[in-house]
Every structure is written in C-alpha cells, then in structure tokens.
Amino acid sequence: MRGQHLQFYPLSEGALTVSFATGIHDTTNTQIRQLMNDLDKRRFPGYIEAVPSYTGVTIFFDPAHVAGAAMKGSSICEKVECLLRERIGALGESEQASTGKTIAIPVCYGGDYGPDLAAVAAHNHLSVEDVINRHCAGDYLVYMIGFAPGFPFLGGMDPAISAPRRKQPRAVIPAGTVGIAGGQTGVYPLETPGGWQLIGRTPLVLFDPERKQPSLLAPGDRVRFEAISAKTYEHMKEAGR
Amino acid sequence: MSISILKGGLLTTVQDLGRKGYLHQGVVEGGAMDRLALRSANLAVGNEEGAACLEMTLLGPAILFKQASLICVAGKGMTPYMEGKPYPLGAAISVPAGQELTFKTARQGARAYLAIAGGIDVPAVLGSRSTYLRAKLGGFEGRKLEKGDLLPIGKVAEHLAPLLKKADKQGCPLVSNWHVNGSLSDSATLSETVVRALPGSHFSMFTKESQTNVFDMSFTIQNNSDRMGYRLQGEAPLLRETKEELLSEAVTFGTVQVPPDGEPIVLMADRQSTGGYPRMLQVAAVDLPKLAQMRPGDTFSFKKITLEEAQYFYLQQELAMQQRKVGIALKQAEWLAQ
C-alpha cells in the first residue's frame, strides 16, 4: 500500500482524519478496516478511539498525552501523522482485514411498516413487487455506522430503486424501519426523527446496550434483506421480547 | 446513600465526561457540556475528575439531602441556596442531613454542575453514567430528573467523614473559604463574547465573502439549540462556492457545520458521531466551556486562530487544571485540619 495518495487533515486539537480516496469503493473499505484493526490492536500512547467513514478514518487522541509521548514529529498532529503513515505503509504486508459476517435482515415491506414503498415505486416507474425484489436481491456492504447508535450506512443498492430524501423529515420513525435515501439504504435502530423514504421494518434489534457488541452490524459486514409477512414480523417481534 | 429530587428543574440530567470507545458504533459521546465546571466541582469534593454529577440547566432543581453530604456547585447560570441562604459557586459545602438545596436563576450562564462526594452512583452503561436522552441511554433511567426520583450516591472517602460529621453536629452547612469557579489560563483576558476557532477542513469550499464574514460578523444562538447543537444566526448566510454532496465522516465537539440554508450549527456534547454537512470551523477546545455557558439569544463572534495556537492553549489549560487539582487537595487538607 505504498505510494498511494493519502490526505491528512486535522478535525480538532484531538482528532486527525486520514483519507484514502474520494469516492465509495470496496477496496478503500478494506484498507479502512485494516487500519481500524491495527489501531485497536496496537494502541499508541494517548489513543482514544477511531471512527471510519466511506473514505477514511478519524483518529481521536488526547493531545496532552501525545505531546509528551516519545513519537516522531515535532507538533502533536505531526506525531500522529508520522505514526499513521508508518502503520498504513505496513498494512498490506501484515494486517488482514477482519472478514465481516453476513447477516440476513428479515423485512416486512409496505403497509404501516413501510409507508413510502408505493412512493418509491412510483418515483422509479416500478411495481411495488419490483422494488421489494430489487431491494432483496442486493448484497450490501456495511461501510460505516453513524448518525445514531447502530445505524448502518449500506452500499450496493440497485440504483433503479433510489429515491430522494423526503422534503419534510418525519418527527418519529419507529425502531427497525428500513429506509432509502438517494442510492443508500439503511435501518433506523432507534426511534428517531429522519428524512429517508420508509419501505419496511425489521423485527431485529440493531442496537442493544446490553449486548457485548451493542451494534448488530459493523463495517465490513454483508447484509441481505429477506421479505417476510406481517404475521412473521409480529411473530418474530413477540419472540424477541 | 441517596438524594431525593423534590423538583426536577428545567433539564437536570446525570452527566460525566462522556462515553468513549463507541463512536464507531454510532453511540454519541455525550457527557457534560461544560467539562471544566464538572471536573472542578468533582475535585472540590474529593471525587475523581470524571465522576458523575448533575448537570442543571437554566432553572435549577430542588434537592433534599437525606444524609450529611459534601457538595460543590460549579459553573454558571444559577446561585445555590440552602434554607433560604445563598452560597458561592465553586465552594465546597458540607451539608447536614435533612437540608434542602434550591437555586435562583442568574442573569448569565446556562449550566451548573452539582458534584456530591462519592459521585452519583447510577449504573454505567457502555462505560459512562451520562444520560443520552434521544436513545434513553444511561444516567437515571435514561431521562431527565423529575419530582420523586431517588438518586444513589457512592461511598464518601473515609478521610472526609469528619467534615460531614462536623456540619451534621452543628446543624448548619459549613462552607469552604476557597472556591474553584475561576476561569483557567488565558481565557480570562479574552472578551466573554469571543470564541476562538480554526478553519475547518471544508473552509475553502465557501465563498471568499463568507470566509471573511464568518470572522467579522456576530452570531446569535437560536432558540432551537440544545445539547446536540447550537444553531446560529449570523447577519448574512454563509454560502458555499459549489454545491456537491459530501460523504459523511466523523465530527466532534465544537465542529461548526453549515447546512445549505447558510446558518451554522456548532455541534455540542450530544452531537451525532458523523455528519455530512461541510465543516467550516472548529471551535478551540479551550473555548468550549465558554460556549456551553451561552444561552439562546446570546451573541458572540468567532476569532481565527491556528491549530498550533489551539493546541498550545489546550496544553496550558490542562496544566492549569493539574495545578488546580493540587491546590484543591492542599486546601481540603487544611479545611479538614481546622
């Protein structure tokens, strides 16, 4: 992974972002996960945590700790940048990206569970069944978790079912609701406001603070949606309680 | 040990220094808005800097101490009263059992922090006792405090026990002759209405005029501001040169995002983990406590500084905090010896 064009820019006194690329690519995501793994396994003095995005990683650290640490570089940011350059340079050789798990997410499409399904179909001149079939046909990569606890940003949706965000966001979206915004699809883990087009709902719990890994999904995981009936939805919901 | 909430106040929540290590799962950091005030209040009562306190907003609560307690109220926005008598902010107060703490709203400031020796002992959720209201996570049942709530208090350090006994015996609060509410480092020399900030990673995306304006004009904090973000209104909207959509990435406390309407939002303690609006500025960490004490309707301006300056000020502030820690420990020992 040498010779590639890395960009570093500070977010604050205690955060530095490294960017690998400008667009959404599977290969960038692999690099990002390798770096995340490496940072987690070999924590440097003052390291707090790291947040992946579509294009890079933001590393949070304690400036006071880094300032005093024996690291290459004169300023605080330079020290962290030097360390990251070294780590990234060595990634391809030593570090394996964690192989993500594949998770099936059962979804009851349409009706009260997905009030915008018909609108998404109409927007794309498709039947409701077409939208469901195309949404279920996809193999989605979890690029990042953000916005709300456990909210996955998924890539790989069929562009034929993309739909713009709603002009007026809804004040309350029930937990488990599956939405579409532009070419992205995702699942609302908690009851929150939101502006995505809602096409269905899953009985799975995407975020549970009681679990060892509270977020069901992690970057690098693969997701497949499976259509279920309202009866199955209610049954699974009941069983999950 | 517990305290009883007689009146919840406007927005009283349990907060510490926030959740670390879960941002990549989308879990917000949260924690106290004014971290210097929380840290100082904790030190004044012999707690760890990051112990859980009550964050009280604008209109304070009423609290009954069922047992003798050592407390400190630091921050701004309200004056503590006990049995009708006002007490100074930032002082340590030894309170006899059965006394009631109330507050009067002050003219300036938004948040005060009540630290109690032993700390507020609600269970830690994902490594923090902070309340995150939107996800009903942590703190006291994930919500703001209401009349009738009973909050558990941790064990008071043994060496402080004589102080608590003394006040209990005398039947009236004992107040320290020192306080921890002064500002740290250089922020005292800077006007109250100036907030230092560095150009953010998308600064150059804005028009030349907006790049100048953002440091020239003043901004008013709008009413729909909260722990998640301060919405600002300037004299003119901040406009971008281009309109391309950005991909979401990490944001942090003090990141100034500008949505298409040109009215900036400063992200505060309960900010989301990632954001997709252009990041025009980043408020210097040393001035976040000052911003956290501003209320809707307050006006301020941004002063441009460099990253190196911001880091220098931050290190100075942390050094001053270490000195405050030592100073308080000495004063406490003196107080105990009296």
Give tens-digit pLDDT for B9-54: 999 999 999 999 999 999 999 999 999 999 999 999 999 999 999 9
Q: Is the pLDDT of residue B251 over 60?
A: yes
Which ipTM score applies to this complex?
0.95
pLDDT at residue A184, as a whole number? 83
Give me the sign of the Cα torsion angle A185, A191, A196, A202.
positive
pLDDT at residue A3, as a whole number? 47
**Residue among B248, B308, B318 minimizing CB distance to A53:** B248
pLDDT at residue A98, as a whole number? 61
Report the percent of chain B where pLDDT is more than 90.
Answer: 86
Could you tell me if A162 lies within 8 Å of chain B, comparing CB atoms?
Answer: no
pLDDT at residue A173, as a whole number? 92
Quickly tell me which residue has 């915004």 as its tokens.
Answer: A181
Confidence of residue A55 (pLDDT cuts 50, 70, 90): very high
Mean pLDDT of B230-239: 96
pLDDT at residue A2, as a whole number? 44
Whole-number Å distance between alpha carbons of B175 and B179:
10
Whole-number Å distance between alpha carbons of A117 and A60:
40
- Contact at CB, B26 and A48, closer than 8 angstroms: no
From residue B51, alpha-carbon distances to A66, B57, B66 in Å are 24, 19, 20
Residues B153 and B108 sit within 8 Å (Cβ to Cβ): no
pLDDT at residue B96, as a whole number? 96
Please return the burial class of B123, using the count of CB atoms within 10 Å of its CB with bins 0-12, 13-18 and 19+: exposed
pLDDT at residue A94, as a whole number? 54
Distance from CA of B22 to the nearest CA of A (A): 8
Task: Please give the single-letter amino acid code of residue B54.
Answer: L
Whole-number Å distance between alpha carbons of B70 and B80:
14
Distance from CA of A220 to the nearest CA of B (A): 12
Nearest alpha carbon to residue B112 among B47, B170, B61 = B61
CB pairs under 8 A between A and B: 133
Could you tell me if A17 lies within 8 Å of chain B, comparing CB atoms?
Answer: yes
Structure token digits, residue B110: 């938004």
**Residue among A58, A67, A192 minimizing CB distance to B250:** A58
Confidence of residue B187 (pLDDT cuts 50, 70, 90): low
The better pLDDT of the pair A115, A28 is held by: A115
Whole-number Å distance between alpha carbons of A139 and B213:
47
Spatial neighbors of B306 by CB under 8 A, at least 6 apart, are B198
Nearest alpha carbon to residue B28 among A184, A29, A189 = A189
Q: Which range, A1-15, B160-174, B182-196, B200-214, has the best average confidence (pLDDT)?
A: B200-214
* Greatest Cα-to-Cα distance within chain A, rounded to the nearest angstrom: 63
Contacts of A51 in chain B (CB under 8 A): 23-24, 249-250, 273-274
- Contact at CB, A56 and B27, closer than 8 angstroms: no
Q: Is the pLDDT of residue A63 over 90?
A: yes
Structure token digits, residue A80: 């962290």
pTM: 0.92
- Best of A47, A51, A191, A192 to substitute, by most chain B Cβ atoms within 10 angstroms, is A51
Instruction: Delineate the domains of chain A, giving CATH numbers in brackets.
Output: 7-90 (3.30.1360.40), 102-240 (2.40.100.10)
Instruction: Delineate the domains of chain B, giving CATH numbers in brackets.
Output: 2-182 (no CATH), 187-313 (2.40.100.10)
* Greatest Cα-to-Cα distance within chain B, rounded to the nearest angstrom: 70
Give me the sign of the Cα torsion angle A12, A35, A51, A25.
positive
